[in-house]
Structure 1
Amino acid sequence: MPNPLVSLPKDYLGGGLMILIGASAAGMGATYSIGTLRQMGPGFFPVALGVLLMFAGTAIAVAAWLERARAGVVKSETLPPEWRGWACIVGALIAFVILGRYGGLLAACAAVVFIAAMGDRDNKLKDGLLLMAIMLVFAIVVIWGALRMSFPLFTWGGA
């Protein structure tokens, strides 16, 4: 029996996933005090973000539906999964957690950007290194310098 999810366009699945995650965030955030715009409570931000995520997911799904209706597409072409992209994204997250704890902000930022950039088949090694260098400057200037986050630039060993 064929899987009905495989025949759906990825925009429908992506929009549906965004709606589901947004509803979960809004629902969990609503368990906290929301407050007002003047005095926001701890639940305000997750609820607002969840609602925005639900609107974005709905917009993506509706846009895909309108595009398919306008083009008269009956069945979409199914493509094989992008295993390289999945592996690089998951690997980048794992590297960020490990290197953030044992290497500091610069090592974690460098790893997450470079590994995730290599998930795109069109990116070359030079592209990944350039993106990594730009993001390292951004991390130093914005995250560590302007925002004064308590994330050390370098850490040798555990925190």
Structure 2
Amino acid sequence: MNWLRHKSRSDLLGGGVVVLLGLGAIVEGSRYTIGTLARMGPGFFPVALGVLLVGLGILIALTADPVAEEDMEHDISGDPPDWRGWGCIIAGVIAFIFLGHVGGLVPATFALVLIAAMGDRDQKPLHALLLALGVTVVGTIIFSYFLQLQFPLFRWG
């Protein structure tokens, strides 16, 4: 465990958060029928995503950058958090939940990507619109047509 003392705390913390998110997805997804690869149940994707997140989090922690002894106290950046980025990501997820319920997959995905993209201070509105349009089209094709996700493309009311 001595090797942990010489690793970047922010990398270790980030890896730990990703592992926790993955474990949460596994726990929640396992409450539904998982099924098989041939007949996937509603819990298959959350569990598969959770397993990938756990693996990714472990990989992030294991490959954490080494930190020199004199830099150990200044490892976590002294910069204030980017509240705009956090706020836009959270607002995008809330918009997806709300619009998915009242409007369907297409408007929910478009709003999520557009709002989250605006969290980047360097993002131009036109680029955010094009990104949202592209992700919406690709996501609709993948999730609705190929994976046949039972989520209406549009819902009125």
TM-score of the superposed pair, with normalisation by structure 1 = 0.70
Q: What is the distance in 2 between the residues matched to 1:44 and 1:154?
A: 24
The number of residue pairs the alignment matches comes to 148
1:58 equivalenced with 2:51 (yes/no): no
Partner of 2:13: 13
Which residue type is aligned with residue 73 of structure 1?
Answer: D
Partner of 1:73: 71
Shift of 1:72: 6.8
Structure 1 residues 111 and 27, CA gap change in structure 2 (3 angstroms): closer
Shift of 1:105: 1.5
The structure whose Rg is larger is 1
What percent of counterpart residues are identical?
Answer: 49
Query: RMSD of the alignment, in Å?
Result: 3.5
TM-score of the superposed pair, with normalisation by structure 2 = 0.71
Partner of 1:119: 119
Structure 1 residues 45 and 72, CA gap change in structure 2 (3 angstroms): farther
Q: What is the distance in 2 between the residues matched to 1:115 and 1:22?
A: 24
Q: What is the distance in 1 between the residues matched to 2:55 and 2:126?
A: 37
Shift of 1:25: 5.0
1:7-156 matches, within 5 Å, as: 9-24=9-24, 49-66=49-66, 68-69=67-68, 73-74=71-72, 75-76=74-75, 77-156=77-156
Q: What is the distance in 2 between the residues matched to 1:46 and 1:105?
A: 18
Q: What is the distance in 2 between the residues matched to 1:27 and 1:40?
A: 17
Q: What is the distance in 1 between the residues matched to 2:150 and 2:44?
A: 24
Q: What is the distance in 2 between the residues matched to 1:63 and 1:28?
A: 28
Structure 1: unaligned runs, 5 residues or longer: 1-7
Q: What is the distance in 1 between the residues matched to 2:71 and 2:111?
A: 41
Which residue type is aligned with residue 71 of structure 2?
Answer: V
Structure 2: unaligned runs, 5 residues or longer: 1-7
